[in-house]
Amino acid sequence: MLYAKVAIPAPTHAAFSYAVPEDCASEVRAGARVVVSFRRRLTVGFVLDTMDEAPSHIDANKIKPIESVLGDAVFSPRMCEWLSWLASYYCAPIGEVCRSALPKRLTQLKPPKTTRPSVPRELEHRGEQQDFVLTGDQQNALKLINDELDTKKPRPVLLYGVTGSGKTEVYLRLFERVVGEGKQAILLVPEIGLTPQLTARVIERFGEKVALMHSQLTDAQRHHQWERIRAGEANVVVGTRSGLFAPLLNLGAIVIDEEHDSSYKQDEGVLYHARDAAVMRGQIENAIVVMGSATPSIESFANVQGDKYRCCHLSERTGGGVLPDVHVIDMRHEVARQKAGDSEKKRHEHASLSRELVDAIEATMSRGEQAMIFLNRRGFANFLICESCGHSFVCPNCDISLSYHRHPEKLLCHYCDYTVRPPTKCPSCEGIDIVPMGRGTERIEMELQELFPKVRIARLDRDTVAKATKRTSIFKQMHDGTIDILVGTQMIAKGHDFPNVTLVGIVSADVALHMPDFRAAERVFQLTTQVSGRAGRTSHGAKVMLQTFQPEHTSFEHARVHDFESFFANERVHREKLGYPPYVRLANVRMSATDSAKVDRQAHSIADELKNLCARMKLDGSVRLLGPAPAPMEKVRNRYRWQLLIKAPDARAMSAFLKQAHPAIRAFERQGLRIAIDVDPINLL
């Protein structure tokens, strides 16, 4: 008798054994979709493996049979191996992992009828044909990549190249080789809508053979793309992190553009990191993995130093373009100057833009060039405060300040979207001097418009571009030169190439610096460098002006001279000393419930349980527990959040510990306590 190990999409971790009836024995193999009865209901499951005998711990007579097999296998055997790795490394139920790898309708017993879906918009935009002689840097990079490919067991490669150094062309040439050899490739990008130029260039090169995978597709579209990939009609897949699940049968290369981007980490469901998962998929399928960035993650660069990844460096911009000069503006002096200047005026806060920045904008406008002004915070003001009694307005669901928005006027929670009309009277003292404090992009836009009434200003943030089409039209206007100044959040920091932008202003570079997160300095360095990279990609003399209250901070010092390696050297010492990743491994047990006393109590019980486990496993302090403690954002959407950090010296020790700890933790998953085990966490708030 034949038996099958079947993964079932349910919050249960193990796979289940079913008997394989004679008549479908030839179709039941790893990766097949089957209908089975589970908890008295029929459901779709995925075969992971088959075996000749029933597992010894189960009574063979009690094993239920597979009801039927649905079509061809959806996962290749190597894909099954990779999915199993994902489940075990990220402590995720294997059935959930399988489910998240597929279009929804392939996981349903009664899928909706398919009518032919529309072609995703992005596939219709073909970039211009470009022909150039590779730069020396590009040639060297390709040689290194090609040499790795020749080894048949290629090691991952970090393509560390400054903004505008021509990384895309290296990706495309790699894909040409891979496709030429009859294999396929995946290109991952942080967000499709933010990188239209990149997608267009891939389509220019590979035309009909490109498939698209991202979360904005309808399920019918996703299914259609999936089928094209599966049928071999597409051999280059462009996608966001979920594109990594593309069902390619002969994968040759995976490229992860902007590999440092935190959107590669999934924040709900299966908490995988697409970069790390790509490295594993590459290893299983003998495909090369290339990670590109101007500001590599500390993790990846440490892997280069540890000889796990190879590295090539593109140090110059193509076409002789130079990196912009970065001026750091000390806002302490600016504020002192402003205060001295208008002491008679009642001023709540200093003007957002320093005189130096305003002068630079003026000069840029008079030359007929464009500027981008960046602030990573939307809305008008960060909060409202009553000047008489100090009352401030907080979200009732989240315990954080409500942001003040002007058009339309409202107080808004950026976490749960709770909205109220701004009060005219203070609810606690009835005073009427309620003033906005702090600044967001909306306020910057207003201040700019007051200073430069004739200039055409547009704003790009989540409030102005709810729809992707709006975003595309703003980018188009920037290209056509019908916008003079673009104000925005990190949405303007990535990927775009606007040749006529010769000035980038960073209004407050300090916003991210004071987050309770060991990666704060890294984020600030990355963001500063990425935003700076938007300036003057082709022309000379472009400028970045960075306003800060802490000009001496190392992130700015190194970003000013575009020096990632010094930043890394500095950060490394710091993290090694304090015991932070990548020099140790972290896992974060996140717990939440609507009852604050209950989370508190359960969090302590879980911690006690894990402490005992450490003692039983005789770990002698090599695995350490930090906490439990309330999360930095203690209340979000009416749930109280706690966390317990696990620190282990390396990945192997972490996996060994989690293997034991995981079932112990899951045992608490009842009575309204929500638990997520976040392995290699990125977001610690």
Interface residues with ligand ADP (CB under 6 A) are 130, 132-135, 138, 161, 163-169, 318-319, 497
Residue 680 has what DSSP assignment?
S
Q: What is the smallest separation between the CB atom of 316 and ligand ADP, expressed in angstroms? A: 10
Task: Name the segment binding Zn ion (CB under 5 A); options: 242-250, 405-413, 439-447, 591-599.
Answer: 405-413
Say how far apart CA 328 and CA 344 lie, in whole Å: 29
Q: Please identify, using beta-carbon distances, which residue of 132 and 470 lies nearer to ligand ADP.
A: 132
Count of residues near Zn ion by CB under 5 A? 7
Q: What is the smallest separation between the CB atom of 113 and ligand ADP, expressed in angstroms? A: 42
Residue 536, phi-psi category: left (phi > 0), alpha (psi -120 to 50), beta (remainder): left
Question: Nearest-CA neighbor of 623 among 590, 656, 591?
Answer: 656
287 lies in the binding site for Zn ion (CB under 5 A): no
Q: Please identify, using beta-carbon distances, which residue of 166 and 438 lies nearer to ligand ADP.
A: 166
Q: What is the smallest separation between the CB atom of 240 and ligand ADP, expressed in angstroms? A: 17
Question: Nearest-CA neighbor of 598 among 519, 672, 682?
Answer: 672
Q: Please identify, using beta-carbon distances, which residue of 177 and 574 lies nearer to ligand ADP.
A: 177
Q: Which of ligand ADP, Zn ion, none is residue 549 near (CB under 5 to 8 Å by kind)? A: none
Q: Which of ligand ADP, Zn ion, none is residue 161 near (CB under 5 to 8 Å by kind)? A: ligand ADP
Q: Please identify, using beta-carbon distances, which residue of 295 and 338 lies nearer to ligand ADP.
A: 295
Q: What is the smallest separation between the CB atom of 419 and Zn ion, expressed in angstroms? A: 10
Q: Which two tokens stand for residue 312?
A: 């090539």
Q: What is the smallest separation between the CB atom of 636 and ligand ADP, expressed in angstroms? A: 36
Q: Are 247 and 74 in contact (CB under 8 A)?
A: yes
392 lies in the binding site for Zn ion (CB under 5 A): no
Tell me the three state secondary structure of residue 619: coil
In this structure, are strands 325-330 and 370-374 parallel, antiparallel, or unpaired? unpaired
Amino acid, res. 242? S
Q: Which of ligand ADP, Zn ion, none is residue 397 near (CB under 5 to 8 Å by kind)? A: Zn ion
Q: Which of ligand ADP, Zn ion, none is residue 130 near (CB under 5 to 8 Å by kind)? A: ligand ADP
Q: Please identify, using beta-carbon distances, which residue of 173 and 641 lies nearer to ligand ADP.
A: 173
Task: Name the segment binding Zn ion (CB under 5 A); options: 391-399, 459-467, 473-481, 519-527.
Answer: 391-399
Say how far apart CA 366 and CA 357 lie, in whole Å: 14
Q: Which two tokens stand for residue 133?
A: 């002689």
* x/- letters, 406..435, toward Zn ion (CB under 5 A): -------x-xx-x-----------------
Q: What is the smallest separation between the CB atom of 160 and ligand ADP, expressed in angstroms? A: 10
Q: Please identify, using beta-carbon distances, which residue of 132 and 663 lies nearer to ligand ADP.
A: 132
Q: Which of Zn ion, ligand ADP, none is residue 167 near (CB under 5 to 8 Å by kind)? A: ligand ADP
Q: Please identify, using beta-carbon distances, which residue of 71 and 320 lies nearer to ligand ADP.
A: 320
398 lies in the binding site for Zn ion (CB under 5 A): yes
Q: What is the smallest separation between the CB atom of 455 and ligand ADP, expressed in angstroms? A: 27
Give DSSP secondary structure letters for 497-551. --TTEEEEEES-TTTTTTSSSTTHHHHHHHHHHHHHTTS-SSSSS-EEEEEES-T
Q: Which of ligand ADP, Zn ion, none is residue 138 near (CB under 5 to 8 Å by kind)? A: ligand ADP
Count other Cβ atoms within 10 Å, centred on residue 261: 23
Q: Which of ligand ADP, Zn ion, none is residue 413 near (CB under 5 to 8 Å by kind)? A: Zn ion
Say how far apart CA 531 and CA 491 lie, in whole Å: 10
| Farthest-apart Cα atoms in the chain, separation | 92
Say how far apart CA 607 and CA 294 lie, in whole Å: 40
Tell me the three state secondary structure of residue 473: helix
Q: What is the smallest separation between the CB atom of 89 and ligand ADP, expressed in angstroms? A: 30
Q: Which of ligand ADP, Zn ion, none is residue 452 near (CB under 5 to 8 Å by kind)? A: none
Q: Please identify, using beta-carbon distances, which residue of 161 and 190 lies nearer to ligand ADP.
A: 161
- Radius of gyration (Cα) for the chain, nearest Å? 27
Say how far apart CA 501 and CA 490 lie, in whole Å: 16
Q: Which of Zn ion, ligand ADP, none is residue 418 near (CB under 5 to 8 Å by kind)? A: Zn ion
633 lies in the binding site for Zn ion (CB under 5 A): no
Write 151-155 long-range contacts (CB < 8 A, 24+).
152/286, 153/286, 154/282, 154/286, 154/287, 154/288, 154/289, 155/308, 155/309, 155/310
Q: What is the smallest separation between the CB atom of 624 and ligand ADP, expressed in angstroms? A: 40
| 57: Cβ contacts below 8 Å, ≥ 6 apart | none
Say how far apart CA 605 and CA 73 lie, in whole Å: 43
Q: Which of ligand ADP, Zn ion, none is residue 446 near (CB under 5 to 8 Å by kind)? A: none
Q: Please identify, using beta-carbon distances, which residue of 393 and 525 lies nearer to Zn ion.
A: 393
Asked whether the CA dihedral 456, 457, 460, 463 is positive or negative, the reply is negative
Which of positions 259-278 make contact with Zn ion (CB under 5 A)? Answer: none
Say how far apart CA 277 and CA 92 lie, in whole Å: 13
Q: What is the smallest separation between the CB atom of 397 and Zn ion, expressed in angstroms? A: 4
Q: Which two tokens stand for residue 215?
A: 């979360």
Amino acid, res. 287? A
Residues that bind Zn ion (CB under 5 A): 395, 397-398, 413, 415-416, 418
